[in-house]
Amino acid sequence: MALTRETSERMTAGVARLVRTAKHLGTRVAADLYGDLPSFGWALLAPLEREGAQRCSALAGHAGVDVSVVSRQVSVLERSGLVERRPDPLDGRASLISLSPAGADALAHTRQVRGQWAVEALSDWTEEEAQQFSRLLEKLADGLDRAGHRRSAA
């Protein structure tokens, strides 16, 4: 069943407002949110935590950017002590990147701050409302991802 034009426009306007608000807040509170973690660090450290050591090419796929960009960003994270690099045992020319203990601490700090924000922002929501919104948000993200893949394949 197709959405009405009014509903579609209201949803896209709401998503756009959410993105603008997140960007605005992100730049104002980056130091509190990320601490010593560079703003791009979350996109690289989270997959390392979730899936373990991997090559830059895999991280680039997770982050949706070019391998050269990830390579430079990994170098910054490595100098900061947030990731560790070791030779890939299957191909000595390549490296495996893994999360360091400092990187795990940085992710934990960011999650804690985000959690505090969520508690404040959702203080007047019921648990049921929050669960329903989470399900719908995940469904929206999946739909946007599918639509984006269809557009890029065309």
133-145: pLDDT as tens digits: 999 999 988 988 8
Bigger pLDDT: 126 or 111? Answer: 126
**E strand or H helix at 14:** helix 5-34
Note whether 102 and 41 are within 8 A (CB): no
Note whether 70 and 56 are within 8 A (CB): yes
Cβ neighbours, 10 Å, residue 109: 16
Please state, rounded to an integer, the average pLDDT across all residues of the chain: 86
The predicted-structure confidence for 23-45, as pLDDT tens digits, reads as follows 777 665 656 655 666 667 778 89
Q: What is the distance, to the nearest Å, from the Cα of residue 53 to the centroid of all Cα atoms in its chain?
A: 17
What's the pTM?
0.69
Residue 65 pLDDT class (50, 70, 90 cuts): confident
User: Rounded mean pLDDT of 85-106?
Assistant: 91
Bigger pLDDT: 127 or 2? Answer: 127
Note whether 44 and 18 are within 8 A (CB): no
Taking the C-alpha atoms of residue 4 and residue 139, their distance in angstroms, rounded to an integer, is: 18
CA nearest to 121, candidates 11, 12, 21: 21
The torsion defined by the Cα of 144, 148, 149 and 153, in degrees rounded to 10, comes to: 160
Domains delineated in the chain: 31-145 (1.10.10.10)
